[in-house]
Amino acid sequence: MGLFTPTYYAKSIYDIPLYFYKKEGIKIIFCDLDNTLDPFFLNEPSDQAIALVKKLKENGIEFIITSNNHGSRVIHYAEKLNVECHYSSKKPLGYKLKRFIKRKNFEKSSIVMIGDQILTDVIASKRTKVRIILTEPLVKKDLPITKINRFFDKKLRKIMIKKLEKREISYEQN
Ligand SMILES: [Mg+2]
């Protein structure tokens, strides 16, 4: 069951306080795009995505989009957000992300993945051996390809959220 268990859980990427990243020694975020950072039907970054990335960058946190979606969607969005991206990431497989981490010379312990799906994002994080924050999908609608995964995800999620490796992210400021 370890393959399905997220390290942390937050309702949304927009709920995660900055001090959490600092406390956990996170310097690089690998963020899923569709339904984690913005709804899948938005071609350009929302104001909240722009504001979030700005805040993270100002605090020395590197933000990289890692998405299973195709290059034209991901590159266009990432350029508008002015961040690096890794597209066709082939999550839940880990080999492309592992290769990317190696090429960039990143320290795995300084990375956290953020994603809304257990069957792609969480499993990929396990195979890549980096921590992950599981979130709820931003909108109920999904890409057709995601619908089957979401069916299983809903069942798994109820169990997994109780078994978090680490505690739920605390929302109290300290
Ligand atoms: Mg997603």
| pLDDT value at residue 70 | 96
What lies within 8 Å, CB to CB, of 70 at 6+ separation is 87, 88
What lies within 8 Å, CB to CB, of 63 at 6+ separation is 28, 29, 31, 53, 56, 57, 83, 84
Indicate whether this model's pTM tops 0.85. Answer: yes
- Domain limits, the chain: 2-162
Q: Does residue 154 have a pLDDT over 70?
A: yes
**What's the 128 CA to ligand 1 centre distance in angstroms?**
17
DSSP β-bridge partners for residue 64: 30, 84
Structure-block tokens of residue 103: 């090429």
**What's the 12 CA to ligand 1 centre distance in angstroms?**
12
2-162 folds as Rossmann fold (3.40.50)
Predicted confidence (pLDDT) per residue in 66-83, tens digit: 999 999 999 999 999 999
| Greatest C-alpha distance within the chain | 42
**What's the 107 CA to ligand 1 centre distance in angstroms?**
24
